[in-house]
């Protein structure tokens, strides 16, 4: 079946019930796709699948793939190549079937065995640290997804991301390892810094150090992301404009143009970028 012949609503099979698969499955189900089933091995994964995809039957992987038009592979990074190759060796992949994996460091090359059988390969990674709960569904709406796909089917990947509430960003096949490094660095350093800071506060007797630091960490990260080029939300822009033409969330003022730091584009000479809590 060619992409042009599809009704737009697909039978979805979720392979892997870790923190990512059931959440994305639930998001796609919310967009109208029918969940054919989910594969889950451990007790924790079965409980997660039941919580997020309560109507989906638990199926073994070959049966799940055979029954699905869209196969979501949300498995550990090291297991993905062997899984794809193994299903190809048993003739399980089907022509016209969409196969989407969520591993950040792989592009579509890892899906070549499926593509050789006529499947449509898509690499789609949400830039989000998942909890594996329904909380992630709301977070998807403010997340970006790295998308890699052959040019003729790239719109399919982009459309699926939009249906999940995210914003697709195309990442070239050869750039996927660098992309994965950026994601791993941001995740590991964020977690490490929070753990180190809360540990220090605990040692000096501060109760609930996580709550104590929550506003500081969020605001510091938001400010850093803004300086790195993150776009302010429309609500932030409207609030700034309604407040009498004050500074926009990117540090500039209305009408400043592309500089984003005032009319002369030079920024505040008294701001060294560290924030008041480091400058003193």
**191 and 140 part of one domain:** no
**Token pair of 53 as six digits:** 């995809």
**136 and 195 part of one domain:** no
- The answer to whether residue 181 is domain-embedded is no
pLDDT tier at 57 (50, 70, 90 boundaries)? very high
pLDDT reported for residue 178: 97
Average pLDDT score, the chain? 83
Domain limits at 219? 187-266
pLDDT reported for residue 225: 78
**7 and 105 part of one domain:** yes
Which residue, of 147, 171, 195, is where some domain finishes?
171
**56 and 152 part of one domain:** yes
Which residue, of 110, 141, 171, is where some domain finishes?
171
**152 and 203 part of one domain:** no
Among the listed residues 3, 8, 120, the one whose alpha carbon sits nearest the alpha carbon of residue 71: 120
- Report pLDDT digits (tens) over 64-119: 999 999 999 999 999 999 999 999 999 999 999 999 999 999 999 999 999 999 99
Which residue, of 115, 140, 171, is where some domain finishes?
171
Please indicate whether residue 226 or residue 184 has the higher confidence score (pLDDT): 184
Give the per-residue SS3 of the chain. CCHHHCCCCCEEEEECCCCCHHHHHHHHHHCCCEEEEEECCCHHHHHHHHHHCCCCCECCHHHHHHHCCEEEECCCHHHHHHHHHHHHHCCCCCCCCEEEECCCCCCCHHHHHHHHCCCEEEEEEECCCCCCCCHHHHHHCCCEEEEECCHHHHHHHHHHHHHCCCEEEECCHHHHHHHHHHHHHHHHHHHHHHHHHHHHHHHCCCCCHHHHHHHHHHHHHHHHHHHCCCCCCHHHHHHHHHCCCCCCCCCCCCCCHHHCCCCCCCCCCCCCCCCHHHHC
pLDDT reported for residue 275: 34
Number of separate domains in the chain: 2
- The answer to whether residue 277 is domain-embedded is no
In the predicted model, is pLDDT for residue 209 greater than 70?
Answer: yes
Q: Among the ranges 46-50, 228-232, 245-249, which has the highest mean pLDDT value?
A: 46-50
Please indicate whether residue 212 or residue 6 has the higher confidence score (pLDDT): 212
**118 and 153 part of one domain:** yes
Give the separation between CA 93 and CA 115, rounded to whole angstroms.
8
Domain holding 154: CATH number?
A: 3.40.50.720
- Report pLDDT digits (tens) over 218-227: 888 888 878 8
- The answer to whether residue 280 is domain-embedded is no
**122 and 192 part of one domain:** no
**162 and 200 part of one domain:** no
pTM of the model: 0.74
In the predicted model, is pLDDT for residue 60 greater than 90?
Answer: yes
């Amino acid at each position: 079946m060619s992409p042009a012949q599809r009704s737009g609503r697909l039978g979805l099979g979720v392979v892997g019930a870790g923190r990512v698969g059931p959440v994305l499955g639930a998001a796609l189900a919310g967009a109208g796709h029918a969940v054919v089933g989910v594969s889950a091995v451990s007790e924790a994964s079965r409980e997660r699948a039941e919580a997020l995809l309560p109507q989906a039957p638990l199926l073994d992987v070959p049966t799940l793939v055979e029954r699905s038009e869209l196969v979501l592979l949300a498995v550990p990074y090291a297991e993905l190549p062997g899984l794809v190759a193994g299903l190809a060796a048993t003739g399980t992949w089907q022509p016209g079937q969409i196969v989407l994996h969520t591993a950040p460091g792989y592009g579509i090359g890892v899906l070549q065995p499926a593509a050789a059988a006529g499947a449509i390969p898509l690499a789609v990674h949400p830039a989000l640290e998942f909890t594996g709960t329904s909380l992630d569904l709301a977070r998807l709406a403010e997340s970006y997804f790295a998308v890699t796909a052959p040019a003729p089917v790239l719109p399919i990947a982009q459309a699926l991301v939009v249906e999940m509430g995210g914003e697709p960003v195309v990442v070239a096949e050869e750039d996927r390892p660098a992309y994965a490094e950026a994601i791993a660095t941001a995740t590991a350093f964020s977690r490490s810094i929070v753990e180190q800071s809360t540990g220090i506060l605990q040692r000096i007797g501060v109760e609930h150090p996580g709550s104590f630091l929550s506003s500081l960490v969020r605001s510091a990260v938001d400010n850093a992301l803004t300086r790195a080029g993150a776009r302010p939300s429309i609500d932030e822009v409207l609030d700034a404009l309604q407040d009498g033409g004050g500074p926009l969330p990117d540090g500039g003022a209305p009408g400043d143009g592309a500089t984003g730091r005032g009319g002369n584009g030079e920024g505040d000479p008294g701001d060294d970028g560290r924030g008041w809590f480091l400058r003193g």
